Structure 1
Amino acid sequence: MTANTVRHCSSWILPSLLAIILAMMAGCSGKAATARYSTLSVGSSCYAKALPTSGEGGLAWGDTLNMARQKSLSNCIRYAGRSGGTPDTCQVVLAECKN
C-alpha cells in the first residue's frame, strides 16, 4: 500500500509545484512591468539635437535646456567621428523643453 500511495502522490505533486511556480513568476513579472512603466513617465523634460556638416548627429534629453544642449553636442562629436563625418562642425540645431 505504501508504494501505491507514493505513486499516487507523485502524480499530482509535480503539476502542483509547476502551477505554483508559474503563478509566482506571473505575479512578479506583472509588478516589475508596472514599476518600469511608472519610471518612464518621470523622464527629463528638455531635449536638443546637434548636427555636423557631414556624418551622424546626436539627440539628447536633459533636466535643463543647457544640459540637453551639452549632451547632444557630445553625442554629435562622438557619432560624427565614428561615422566618418566632421566632429569639429557639430552645432545644436534644435533645443526645447516640454511643458
Structure 2
Amino acid sequence: MIGTTARQCSSWILPTLLAVNLALAAGCAGKAATARYSVSSIGDSCYAKALPTAGEGGLAWGTTLNMARKKSLDNCIRYAGRSGGTPDTCKVVLAECKN
C-alpha cells in the first residue's frame, strides 16, 4: 500500500517542478539587465587605492581626488576587517586623476 502511494506522489511531482521552473524562467527572461554600479561613478576620473599592513585593501573612484581617497580608505577598513587583517593600519598608497 505504501509503495502505491509513493508512486502516485512521484508521478505528479516532476511535472509540477518542471512547470514551476519554466514559469520562473519565462518571468525572468523579459526583464532587462540592470547595472550593478552607481550611475554617478560612470564618469568619475579620479581613483585611489588604500592598503592595510595585513588583509584586503580597497580601490575606489570619485569625482574628486579627496572623494576617491575617502572612499578607498573606507573600503580598505571594511575589507581588512572582513578578511582578518588590520583595519586601523589602512593607508592610501595611490591616488590620481585620469585627466
TM-score of the two chains, using structure 1 as the length reference: 0.59
**How far apart in 2 are the matches of 1:53 and 1:44?**
28
Secondary structure at the aligned position of 1:93 is classed as strand
Query: By how many angstroms is 1:85 displaced?
Result: 0.1
Distance 1:65 1:78 in 2: 20
4+ residue segments displaced more than 6 Å: none
Higher Cα radius of gyration: 1
Alpha-carbon distance in structure 1 between the residues aligned to 2:65 and 2:74: 14
One-letter code of the match for 1:85? G
User: What TM-score, normalized to structure 2?
Assistant: 0.59
Residues paired across the two proteins, number:
67
In the other structure, the counterpart of 2:79 is 79
Query: As a proportion of its length, which structure holds more helix?
Result: 1
Runs of 5+ consecutive residues of structure 1 not aligned to the other structure: 1-28, 33-38
The correspondence of residues 1-99 of structure 1 with structure 2, limited to 5 A, is 42-99=42-99
